């Protein structure tokens, strides 16, 4: 399971919910008929819309606020196998290799200009194609060539 956000509130009385999410590929998951998981239950997305900073969804079989309000505050998950593409969240399972030393990726920060990989030694490197020598999907490694003062 892969966490995609948090169910933070309801909207209206017909069971629409607000999800706060910074998931990288919302276009793949916030679509009709996609399965999500809230609590220990599976739900199917019926409709999606964007409202301010929230992802607003209605779910099949949920037509009343009382059917979903008790799960407010719960994390929202998807089954990673339901997406057949490489996504940024996959990077958490990768290692950065620089000068034959391996670093675990412990966080990914998203800025307006690019993504920043936070490594296990609290160093940060930009995740940009200029520095990536090779992306080894089979071994889950990103080989990078960085300026000497960066790492």
Which residue ranges does the chain devote to CATH 2.30.30.240? 88-144
| Number of Cβ within a 10 Å radius of residue 126 | 17
- Token look-up 């000497």 returns 148
Burial letters 72-111, b for 16+ CB under 10 A, else e: eebebbbeeeebeeeeebebeebbbbbeeeebebeebeee
Confidence category of residue 115, pLDDT binned at 50, 70, 90: confident
% pLDDT > 90, the chain:
66
Nearest CA among 28, 29, 140 for reference residue 92: 140
Read off the pLDDT of residues 54-67 as tens digits, 9 standing for 90 and up. 999 999 999 999 99
The chain-wide mean pLDDT, for the chain, equals 91
Which residue ranges does the chain devote to CATH 2.40.30.60? 2-81
Question: Domain 88-144 falls in which CATH fold?
Answer: SH3 type barrels. (2.30.30)
Q: Among 93-97, 137-141, 146-150, where is mean pLDDT lowest? A: 146-150
pLDDT for the residue 51: 94
Q: In this structure, are residues 15 and 62 in contact, taking their beta carbons and an 8 Å threshold?
A: yes
Burial of 28 (0-12, 13-18, 19+ CB in 10 A): middle
Q: How many residues does the chain have?
A: 151
Nearest CA among 21, 3, 4, 8 for reference residue 72: 8
Predicted confidence (pLDDT) at residue 151 exceeds the cutoff of 80: no
Question: Domain 2-81 falls in which CATH fold?
Answer: Elongation Factor Tu (Ef-tu); domain 3 (2.40.30)
Confidence category of residue 37, pLDDT binned at 50, 70, 90: very high
Cα-based distances in Å from 98 to 16, 109, 111, 115, 126: 47, 20, 23, 18, 13
Q: In this structure, are residues 122 and 76 in contact, taking their beta carbons and an 8 Å threshold?
A: no
Mean pLDDT of the 94-110 span: 90
Mean pLDDT of the 129-139 span: 90
């Amino acid at each position: 399971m892969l966490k995609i956000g948090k169910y933070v509130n309801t909207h209206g009385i017909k069971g629409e919910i607000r999800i706060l999410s910074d998931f990288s590929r919302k276009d793949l998951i916030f679509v009709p008929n996609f399965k999500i998981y809230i609590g220990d239950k599976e739900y199917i997305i019926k409709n999606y819309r964007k409202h301010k900073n929230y992802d607003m969804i209605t779910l099949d079989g949920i037509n009343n606020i009382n059917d979903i309000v008790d799960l407010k505050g719960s994390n929202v998950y998807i089954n990673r196998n339901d997406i057949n593409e490489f996504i940024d969240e996959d990077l958490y399972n990768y290692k950065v290799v620089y000068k034959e030393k391996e670093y675990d990726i412990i966080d990914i920060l998203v800025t307006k200009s690019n993504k920043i990989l936070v490594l296990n030694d609290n160093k940060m490197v930009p995740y940009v194609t200029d520095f990536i020598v090779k992306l080894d999907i089979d071994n889950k490694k990103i080989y990078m060539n960085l300026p000497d003062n960066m790492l």
